[in-house]
Every structure is written in structure tokens, then in C-alpha cells.
Structure 1
Amino acid sequence: MLKRLIYPAMSAAKPHPTGKQNNNRPIFDPDRLFTEDEGTSQDTFLDRLRARLRAGALLSWAVAGIVGQGACLLVPGKMYRRFPLFFWSIACRILHIKVRTIGEPAGSLTPRPDGRRVIYVANHCSWLDVLVLGKILPASFIAKQEVRHWPVIGYLTFLGRTIYINRNRQESSQDVQEIIEQLRKGYDIVFFPEGTTSKGNGMLPFMSSLFAIAKPVRRRGDPAPDGHPACIVQPITITYDRLEGLPVGRHHRSFVFSWFGDMNFGPHLMQLGKWHSMRATVMYHPPIVPEDYPSRKALSNAARSIIEQGHDTLRQNRL
């Protein structure tokens, strides 16, 4: 029985790219042993009812959030920055997602003593990342332009001061200037350098272009750009490590929590809503100073290395 499970998965894999000739050793991919919906959730009547109630509650709360955030924008003070923390906290409670934090964030609602803005960079495997980080970080998110046109969510993120960017490289410089303008106003920023979601068991390459907000491009000998706020970069690792109180394996991490590829949002939300409890762990790493790195690429590689090490540590429970 074990051979019938393992050997088809190995035969469908591609050989390792090595320098040796005539080496056809296969790559073993455990995910090939399962289908996407195999063993990822129960499907009783109560499970389906629970999922529908949670989806309805989440939609209703999103509509209420639009009203609440719109009202907070009319109130003097920082209420419009505090409300998103409350909104995403309730959203996590609706889905029964507990958030454990390790370490301390480098920023808060009050300015840092050194006057630097904080740019948080994190790995990205699901739309849940926004709920988890939105609950604990008073910062503006960077999202792709398409999110602005999503029903309900698009307007909600707009009121929450989300910054929308295009994937077209010709317009990337304009997007960077808009983000820098938000930094000048005193906002901290959160973005996902992978650019898209992954399966949760590994990380995609980082796109270094957005690191220009922390390390502006300039020629040698040129002065620093006028008005560019000094920043620090804090790497953050997100891992979904508990499901029904038990450790999460690679299959559940990929097909319960992760939202990637051409997955549809509705079915993924309904499957997620069937579970009783989940947990996400957020690890804050020590901030790094952009001036310590010679280029954006070096800064990007350093942040990715730190996040990847944290990801391995959390997945293997080596704290």
C-alpha cells in the first residue's frame, strides 16, 4: 500500500538539476500524495452550517466596518488609525483565529524616539495574513491595484488607507513616490515582497523594487533625496501552526490556510469556516537599518534570509 502511494508521486517528479550527467534521481513531493480537499476538513451538516454562519458574520462585519471606518475619518485624532486594529481583531475572532506574537514590533501609534518610520516586510501565503497583521500592527498595507475593485473589501481597504500599486514596472517609480508620501505623513508601512501568495511551506523570491521606499535609488556621490523620511525595516515571519489545538503539517498548511494560484475565495472561506479553532504565530525579528546595505537587492536578500530562518524555526517548532 505504501509503495502504491509513494512511487507514483516520485515518478511524476522532475530530476534534480545537478551538474552530474545521467542523474535521474526524482524529487519527492509529499503534496502529490494528497488531493487539495482530501482530509482537510470534515463535511457534516453542523460543519457546513458553521461555515455559512461565519461567512455571513464576516460579510456583515465588513459592511459595518465600512460605516465605522468612514465615521472615524470624520473624528479628530487617531481614531481612524485605531479602528482597523479593532476591526481585524473582531474578524479574527469570527473565524476563531488566535494570534500568538513573539518579539516586539518596532513601531506603534506614537512616533519612535529616533524619528524613523517602520517598514514591516513579511512572508505571504494567504489573505488571512492581512487579518492577522491588521489585528496587531497600526500600519498601512500595500496591495495590488485589483484589490481596490473587489466588492466590499475594496472600499474597506480604501478607507483603511491601503496603498494600491501596479505590477507594471513602468509605473513602479510613481507607486514608490506615493508610498514615500505616506511615510512623510507619519504612517508605518506593511508589504509582502513576494508579490503573491505561496503554498505556505516555502517562500517565493522577493521583489526588491519596493525596497526603494527604504533605500532610495541614487548615484554615487548624490545627496539623499529631499524629504525622504529615515526608515528601518523589520522582517516579520507568519506561520499557521495550530489547527484544532494540534500542530499543522505541510498538507494542512497548504490546503487549509494557504490561498494561492487560481483558488477561488468563496470555496476557500467555506472550507476554512468548518474548523473550530486555528492559530497563527507572528515572529518579530530585530529591525535592520537600510544604510548598512550597499543596495536594495542586498537589503531584500537580508530580509528574506531572516524571514526564511524564522519560518523554518516556527514550522519545525524549534523555539
Structure 2
Amino acid sequence: MTRSGRNVLAAVRLAGVVVWVPLSVGFEALLLPVPGVSKIRWTRVVWGGLCLILSVRIRVLGKPVGTVGGVHGRARGERPVIYVSNHSSWLDIPVLGTKIYSVFVAKGDIEKWPIMGLVSKIGRTIFVSRNRATTGHERDEMITRLATGDNLILFPEGTSSDGSRVLPFMSTFFAIAKLPRLPKNSVPAEDMPRYPKGLTPLIQPVSVVYDRLEGLPVNRTTRPVFAWYGDMDLGPHVWQLLKRRTIRATIMLHPPLAPEDFPSRKALANAAWRAVADGAARLRQNAET
């Protein structure tokens, strides 16, 4: 495809995004006050529409252990799930959002992004800061969401990488799965963070790798096309990806981990990291099964 042809393709896709996002997000906003799981289901449609416009094809290996959830799911005893994934691109958000019933936990900066910020906000993303003063409130919101029907997606690396490796997972991200044991009488019983009996969340490690670009296997030379990290500007990176005819992402879902089986948050974080890192390494070798 010629340079002018790629520019036309990118412009058409951008126009599609500009039309799709207000329509789909506007409808989703109408669903927010409606009881039930319709808003959870529709969020997947919103992300899926974006992936379709961008010609991002998604291959899934394994199965999510979480269901659509909702209040009735929790009443049936369905444990909430926290999906923990590697993170190398802004594309990770629509890719995972298309295939997993969940809400994201994301840095507060994302709320200010054009398009992605709007979709994330209406999609009930939990935005977190690095401010210690708000940590307790953010933790309590995540616990409440998990207990009342949502599953969560976290990126425990704490930042995005260049896609060539998975950075170590920060154990603080696992605090909501393995709640701290507070000294007796240190806080009033009603203020202690806790889950309803039997509803402590499972951890499911997830590996995401972009392994096909315009039909060809991705290698060390082409992998940086997807990576968005550090101080890279978002706009130019999005525009370059819009020019690509097709992209394939592979999601590998690993067996879930029960937090109660691990002696500490650090041990849980290390086990999750190992599963994600090993899976990503295998996918980078362009394994088809």
C-alpha cells in the first residue's frame, strides 16, 4: 500500500472512531442507572467496535474464569476475579475489554485522554492516583465493586513496557486480593476492609502479545510498532497504528490463583508474574497453540 493509501485508511478509521464512540458511549450512559448486567455486557460491545474499526483481530487461548457477574452472580456464590496482565500498549485496553467481562483499574491520567478516557469513564473504570491520602478510598471502592458484581483488570507492572519482556509485578497491586491483617481493635470492626464470606477474589494471570502485523509474524524489528511507553506522545503513535491494514493480538488466559494459597502478597505477585511472563515469552515465539 502506498503512503497516500495508508493515510486515507487512517483517516477513514479515525472518522469511524469519531462516529462510533459518541453513539456507543451515549447508549452506555443510558444503561448506567439500569439494574442488572446490561451495562457490563455493552462495555464489551463498545471496545469490540473499536477493535473492529482498527482491524484488530483477537485470538484467545484459555478461558476467563469470571462470568458476567452482577449482583445475582455474587448471590449464587460466583467468586469475583481480578485479571492481571502485562501492559505494553494503549491497545491492551480495548483488546482485553473486548473479550473479558470486567472494569479496568487505571491511572487517573487516562481519564483525560481523548476518546479512550471517555470510553473508560463511562465504562466505570476505577481511576487511581499515587496519593496516599486517597489510597484507602480507592481500595474500598475496588472491594465494593468486586463484592457487588464486577471483575477487575489490573496492570501490576505499574507502567507500560516496550513489549520485549514483562516487568516485575508490584505486590501493592495485590493488596485487594490479599487484605492486610490489621491489629485487633486498631480500627472499628465496621471500618475493616473485608469481603462477604466465600467471595474473596481469584487472580487470573493474562498474557497479551501482538503477534501478527498485516498478516506477518511480529519480530524484534516490528514489535516496537505496538509499544507505547515512557514519554512517547500518544497522538502520533495512534496515527501510525491506524495506517496498518491488520493487527492480531493474542490473549493467553492462565489457570487462576487462589490468594489464600500464598503466604504473602509478594509470593502471590511473583506467581502471577511468572505465569504472565512465561506465557508472553511463548507467544513472542509466534506459537500458534
- Of residues 235-244 and 214-223 in structure 1, the stretch that sits farther from structure 2 once superposed is 214-223
Cα deviation code 1:129-173 (max 9, x no counterpart): 001011011101001111223334333322111001012345333
Compared CA separation, residues 317 and 220, structure 1 to 2 (3 A): farther
Compared CA separation, residues 153 and 275, structure 1 to 2 (3 A): closer
Is the Cα–Cα contact under 8 Å of residues 140 and 193 in structure 2 kept in the other structure? no
Structure 2 letter corresponding to 1:286: P
Match status 1:193 vs 2:162:
no
Q: Give the structure 2 partner of residue 51 of structure 1.
A: 10
- Of residues 51-60 and 188-197 in structure 1, the stretch that sits farther from structure 2 once superposed is 51-60
RMSD: 2.1
CA distance, structure 2, for counterparts of residue 150 and residue 139 of structure 1: 20
Compared CA separation, residues 230 and 76, structure 1 to 2 (3 A): closer
Match status 1:166 vs 2:135:
no
CA distance, structure 1, for counterparts of residue 132 and residue 171 of structure 2: 12
Structure 1 letter corresponding to 2:154: F
1:303 pairs, out of 267, 272, 284, with 272
Compared CA separation, residues 153 and 316, structure 1 to 2 (3 A): closer
Match status 1:69 vs 2:38:
no
Is the Cα–Cα contact under 8 Å of residues 115 and 230 in structure 1 kept in the other structure? no
Alignment of 1:1-319 (within 5 A): 44-110=3-69, 111=73, 114-219=77-182, 225-227=193-195, 229-254=199-224, 256-318=225-287, 319=289
Structure 2 letter corresponding to 1:80: K
Compared CA separation, residues 226 and 54, structure 1 to 2 (3 A): closer
- Of residues 149-158 and 53-62 in structure 1, the stretch that sits farther from structure 2 once superposed is 149-158
Is the Cα–Cα contact under 8 Å of residues 177 and 203 in structure 2 kept in the other structure? yes
Structure 1 letter corresponding to 2:22: V
Structure 1 letter corresponding to 2:208: I
Q: Give the structure 2 partner of residue 26 of structure 1.
A: none
CA distance, structure 2, for counterparts of residue 183 and residue 233 of structure 1: 12
CA distance, structure 1, for counterparts of residue 35 and residue 267 of structure 2: 41
- TM-score w.r.t. the length of structure 1 is 0.81
Deviation at 1:114, TM superposition (A): 4.6
CA distance, structure 1, for counterparts of residue 184 and residue 276 of structure 2: 32
Is the Cα–Cα contact under 8 Å of residues 232 and 287 in structure 1 kept in the other structure? yes
Is the Cα–Cα contact under 8 Å of residues 85 and 135 in structure 1 kept in the other structure? yes
Is the Cα–Cα contact under 8 Å of residues 179 and 194 in structure 2 kept in the other structure? no
Is the Cα–Cα contact under 8 Å of residues 60 and 250 in structure 2 kept in the other structure? yes
Which secondary structure does the structure 2 equivalent of 1:233 belong to?
strand
Report how many aligned residue pairs link the two structures: 277
Is the Cα–Cα contact under 8 Å of residues 55 and 269 in structure 1 kept in the other structure? no
Structure 1 letter corresponding to 2:125: T
CA distance, structure 1, for counterparts of residue 64 and residue 181 of structure 2: 29
Is the Cα–Cα contact under 8 Å of residues 176 and 210 in structure 1 kept in the other structure? no
CA distance, structure 1, for counterparts of residue 13 and residue 221 of structure 2: 24
Cα deviation code 1:27-65 (max 9, x no counterpart): xxxxxxxxxxxxxxx761111111111122112212222
Deviation at 1:90, TM superposition (A): 1.0
Deviation at 1:237, TM superposition (A): 0.3
CA distance, structure 1, for counterparts of residue 6 and residue 195 of structure 2: 54
Compared CA separation, residues 77 and 220, structure 1 to 2 (3 A): closer
What 5-or-longer segments of structure 2 have no aligned partner? Answer: none
Which secondary structure does the structure 2 equivalent of 1:275 belong to?
coil
Q: Between Structure 1 and Structure 2, whose CA radius of gyration is higher? A: 1
Structure 2 letter corresponding to 1:93: L
CA distance, structure 1, for counterparts of residue 4 and residue 12 of structure 2: 12
Deviation at 1:221, TM superposition (A): 8.6
Which secondary structure does the structure 2 equivalent of 1:240 belong to?
strand
Compared CA separation, residues 172 and 242, structure 1 to 2 (3 A): same
Deviation at 1:122, TM superposition (A): 0.3
What 5-or-longer segments of structure 1 have no aligned partner? Answer: 1-41
- Of residues 306-315 and 172-181 in structure 1, the stretch that sits farther from structure 2 once superposed is 172-181
